Structure 1
Amino acid sequence: MNNRNTPSDEGYQSDPGRPKTRDFNTEELKLFARENKAFREKYFIEEVLTNSANGVIYKGYRASDHYEVVAKQIPKSKVFEWGAIGGRVVPTEIEMHYKASAVEGVVEVLDWYERKTSFVLVMQRPSNSCDLFDVSSKLGALDEDPTKIIFSNIVNSVIALDKAGVVHRDIKDENILVNLETLETNIIDFGCATKTTDAAMTQLTGTPEFFAPEMYTTGSYKAEETAVWSLGTLLYCLLVGQIPFQTDSQIVRLQTCQPELEKNLGDEAKDLLSRLLQLNPARRPKLKEILDHPWFFNYA
């Protein structure tokens, strides 16, 4: 049973310099009214799925064909990083998810709307799917063979996101949906995402248990190196049924929570984990090198 204490991330960073509210002109108010009407005519909302300080996610469907969707309502007061789509200012989350939507293995964006106090992001709702956190919580450790399929799907999507110019920065079990029949995966929640860069970053955003050690020790990190570490943490969750680290001190010392649970792992799985979870970021494999590991080619 997965016993993580912090099941949700903080996808928005504070910026005291940005005003929380402002007055809107007549044209803006008319735009908000039109978009609110368009949303209500196109989609039917059934119920709340999750409700947090960073937004509310609703389950619903498209009125024309009953296509299942989720709608995320993002309060403007919680948005402090802004981008643009078609000349319109939008939260960076929407810009990055919209950009990533064409990537295989990313949940598709269908529409977005602006309201007076929030944005609404409408996405597909993959059928027969649940997130990997729930899978680990209910099933514990997964067998290595299905894990190879699930994990390779995720790695391929992260590689494709990098090529598309998007860094997710919060790859974790809760942000991966899996179809339990086909093992197809979909990455969700781009609240921490930003543009791909080779430069070092300093903004600490995401989920602390999945942070790479350099994020704690130096406060500076590179996107690909930390993505590889997060993937290693995710692979550990799938194979062991527990998150490997719960505190920053465990991460920087590479001290897993319950090492006795690792005894059932095969040698190749242990080797892959040791390569992904390297304290020295320069010694971790590149994203494109992960799938070359022998573990992926040997099935029971």
Structure 2
Amino acid sequence: MPFWFYTPLYLHCRWKTRKYRMIGNRYRLIRQIGRGSTGLVYVAIDIKTHTRCAIKEICKQKNRQESSILKELGPHKNIIGFIEVIEDSGSIYLVMEMAKKGAIMDIVPHSLTEPYSNHQCKHLFKQLVNAVYHLHQRGIIHGDIKPENILLTNHQTVRLIDFGNASRISDMTAKITTGSPAFMAPELLKKVPHSPTSSDIWALGVTLYCLAYGHLPFEKSSFIQLYQDILTKPVPHSQTINPQLKDLINQLLEKDPNKRITLDKVKHHPWLMTP
């Protein structure tokens, strides 16, 4: 099902009828550039500074949590910069910085994208781990980590985006969260109790696999077949992959969440510690 199917129709209609509308008497919407998990994303011009920014429009009735989580997190070099939140009668607008190079990788099911080199993978993944570690230290799980939600600046700095599926950790048990099917952990599919951070760590593993190979580790034409592979199929690897990188991917994609590598151990894994 296409992502726009899940976006409120009212947002699509609003964009088509008021394309260049002003937000908060300061930001002029220029064009739609994407769809997040909870709304539409636009590029806008700040008419006071004449700089570009990104604005995510969320249906007010659907999700207030994303804006409150972004406010809580505070600035971090690997999380998208939050500028302000504006509300009108029907929508919440999250004003954020622009990461001009866009997503780190465009993953299309059943197709191959140019993978990153071992050195490039390491450079990007270190930054992503730092972002997720910052979240977990503040009691937040992202809930939708994937290449599409990882942007790059002109200086090759990672920015984690889209907190529409993020939630707060409570009582060491995680809610069953939504997310992108190919990045969902086995424990989410089985709907069993698990560590609140384990599903983010699994999604880090799928993301690292994509960066290294240019495609998903598990791909099937139906959700049922996909879920079965995630639950039972070993992680496929090529003969040429760096052995330490292979080891980290396997530990991230450990199907038992109780045996899966922790984020502290990820930060000190030999693959990430070597130049």
TM-score w.r.t. the length of structure 1 is 0.76
CA contact (8 A) 1:10 1:207 kept: no
Whole-Å Cα distance in 2 between the matches of residues 169 and 197 of structure 1? Answer: 14
Q: How does 1:240-259 map to 2 (within 5 A)?
A: 240-246=213-219, 247-256=226-235, 259=236
Q: Any idea what the Cα deviations from partners look like across 1:16-66, whole Å, max 9, x if unmatched?
A: xxxxxxxxxxxxxxxxxxxxx993422122111125794221101211112
Of 205-214 and 261-270, deviating more is 261-270
Q: Any idea what the Cα deviations from partners look like across 1:53-97, whole Å, max 9, x if unmatched?
A: 942211012111122201111112433xxxxxxxxxxx0011112
Partner of 1:133: 105
Q: CA deviation at 1:296?
A: 1.8
Q: CA deviation at 1:103?
A: 2.5
Q: Any idea what the Cα deviations from partners look like across 1:241-281, whole Å, max 9, x if unmatched?
A: 0011231111001345xx3x623211111111111111111
Partner of 2:60: 76
Identify if the C-alpha distance between structure 1 residues 54 and 297 changes in structure 2 by more than 3 Å, giving closer, same or farther.
Answer: closer
Partner of 1:288: 264
CA contact (8 A) 2:83 2:96 kept: yes
Aligned AA for 1:280? D
Of 102-111 and 211-220, deviating more is 211-220
Q: What is the SS of the residue equivalent to 2:258?
A: helix
CA contact (8 A) 1:204 1:219 kept: no
Aligned AA for 2:213? V
Partner of 1:202: 175
Q: How does 1:34-53 map to 2 (within 5 A)?
A: 39-50=23-34
1:152 aligns with 2:136: no
CA contact (8 A) 1:56 1:72 kept: yes
Identify if the C-alpha distance between structure 1 residues 125 and 150 changes in structure 2 by more than 3 Å, giving closer, same or farther.
Answer: same
CA contact (8 A) 2:143 2:178 kept: yes
1:112 aligns with 2:85: yes
Q: What is the SS of the residue equivalent to 1:105?
A: coil
Whole-Å Cα distance in 1 between the matches of residues 36 and 134 of structure 2? Answer: 29
Q: How does 1:208-223 map to 2 (within 5 A)?
A: 208-223=181-196
Partner of 1:21: none
Q: What is the SS of the residue equivalent to 1:174?
A: helix
Whole-Å Cα distance in 2 between the matches of residues 97 and 215 of structure 1? Answer: 24
Identify if the C-alpha distance between structure 1 residues 198 and 144 changes in structure 2 by more than 3 Å, giving closer, same or farther.
Answer: farther
Q: CA deviation at 1:165?
A: 2.5
1:67 aligns with 2:51: yes
1:192 aligns with 2:165: yes
CA contact (8 A) 2:112 2:214 kept: no
Whole-Å Cα distance in 2 between the matches of residues 184 and 190 of structure 1? Answer: 19
Whole-Å Cα distance in 2 between the matches of residues 135 and 248 of structure 1? Answer: 18
RMSD: 2.7
Q: CA deviation at 1:198?
A: 4.8
CA contact (8 A) 2:39 2:56 kept: yes
Of 67, 71, 74, the residue aligned with 1:94 is 67
Aligned AA for 1:245? F
Whole-Å Cα distance in 1 between the matches of residues 169 and 267 of structure 2? Answer: 21
Larger Rg: 1
TM-score w.r.t. the length of structure 2 is 0.83
Partner of 2:223: none
Partner of 1:172: 146
Identify if the C-alpha distance between structure 1 residues 8 and 152 changes in structure 2 by more than 3 Å, giving closer, same or farther.
Answer: farther
Percent identical among aligned pairs is: 26
Q: 1 or 2 for the larger relative contact order (CA 8 Å, sep ≥6)?
A: 1
CA contact (8 A) 1:9 1:207 kept: no
Partner of 2:18: none
CA contact (8 A) 1:245 1:255 kept: no
Whole-Å Cα distance in 2 between the matches of residues 61 and 272 of structure 1? Answer: 42
